[in-house]
């Protein structure tokens, strides 16, 4: 899950398995959330977003779940592939301001 510490949380999964990456957000007024993927040497890339009036949204092989009660966001990646190896982080938008998590490093084992 997300962490404000010095070490990036890591997750290792076997190719073909499902991955679940978690994020705890802090601002109960945040009404829009985004998951980003950042590969080594590249900038963050938009994956999927969700608004606070929804609790689930699906994309291609990805699903985002939002639990506003406990201020928790998760990203599920189905049938994880080697190309999914990257750092994933969430962003919450509230009051026209972005707040980013520090990220989780996902490693896919072939």
Where along the sequence are the contacts to other proteins (CB under 8 A)? 4-8, 32, 41-46, 89, 91, 93, 96-98, 100-103
Nearer to other proteins, 8 or 54 (CB): 8
Question: Checking DSSP bridges between strand 45-51 and strand 56-58, what pairing results, if any?
Answer: unpaired
Distance in angstroms (rounded) separating the CA atoms of residues 77 and 19:
5
Q: Any bridge partners for residue 33, and if so which?
A: 50, 92
Nearer to other proteins, 40 or 110 (CB): 40
Q: How far is the CB of 27 from other proteins (least distance, A)?
A: 13
Nearer to other proteins, 9 or 74 (CB): 9
Alpha helices in the chain (DSSP H): none
Counting Cβ atoms within 10 Å, is residue 108 exposed (0-12), middle (13-18) or buried (19+)?
Answer: buried
């Amino acid at each position: 899950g997300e962490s404000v510490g010095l070490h990036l949380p890591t997750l290792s999964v076997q190719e073909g398995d499902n991955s679940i990456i978690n994020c705890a957000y802090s601002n109960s007024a945040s009404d829009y959330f985004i998951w980003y993927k950042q590969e080594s040497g590249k900038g963050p890339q938009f994956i999927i977003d969700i608004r606070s009036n929804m609790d689930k949204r699906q994309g291609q092989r990805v699903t985002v779940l939002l639990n506003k009660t406990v201020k928790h966001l998760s990203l599920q990646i189905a049938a994880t592939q080697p190309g999914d190896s990257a750092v994933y982080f969430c962003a919450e938008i509230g009051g026209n301001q972005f707040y980013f998590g520090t990220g989780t490093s996902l490693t896919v084992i072939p």
